[in-house]
Homo-oligomer: A and B are copies of this chain.
Amino acid sequence: MKMSTRFSDAIHILAFIVIYKEKVQLSSDTIASSIGTSPVVVRRLMAQLKKGGLLTTVPGFADPTLKKPAEVVTLLDVYLTIEGDKPLFSVDPKTNPACIVGGNIQPTLTEYYRQAEVAAKAKLQQTTLQDLIDTILVRQAEKEAGK
C-alpha cells in the first residue's frame, strides 16, 4: 500500500492549530482544506492526537488546543502517538526456522534495525513543533518578501 502520510498530516494539524489560533475557525473542514484531504481523515487524526495527550478537543465545538506548549512537543511525540510502535524497517516474519540463517535472522536483524530506529527517533526528539512552526513562518516571510 501507499506509504502513510498520517505522521506528516498530524504535524500539519498541530502546526495549523498553533499558527491559526484565534485567526480562523479551527474546524476539521478548515484544516482538511489546508492538508488537501477529507475532514473525516482530519477527525481521525485529531482523535488520535487527543488520545495521545497532545490535543484537547470538544465534540460540537471547533476549538482544538494543544495540551502542552509547542516548545515542549517534539516530532517524536507525534510519531509515537500516530504510528505507535510501527517500525521503520520490516523484518520478514516468515523465514524457515530449520535453517541457520532463516532460524536466527529475525531476532538478529530486529536488534540492528532497532538501533537504527533509535537513532532516527533521537533526531526527531531534537525537533519541537515550535521549531517547525518557526521555519514555516520564516519560509512564508521569505515568500512574501520575494514577491
Interface residues of A (CB under 8 A from B): 1-5, 7-9, 11-12, 15-16, 19-20, 33-37, 75, 87-96, 99-105, 107-109, 111-112, 115-124, 127, 131-132, 135-137, 139-140, 143
Contact = CB atoms under 8 A, between A and B. Distances in A.
Nearest to A131: B112
Contacts of A16: 101
A109 B34 contact: no
A87 to B, nearest CB: 8
B96 A108 contact: no
Given A101-B15, A108-B135, A90 B123 contact: no
B139 A95 contact: no
A19 B99 CA distance: 11
Contact of A15 (B34, B105, B123, B139): B105
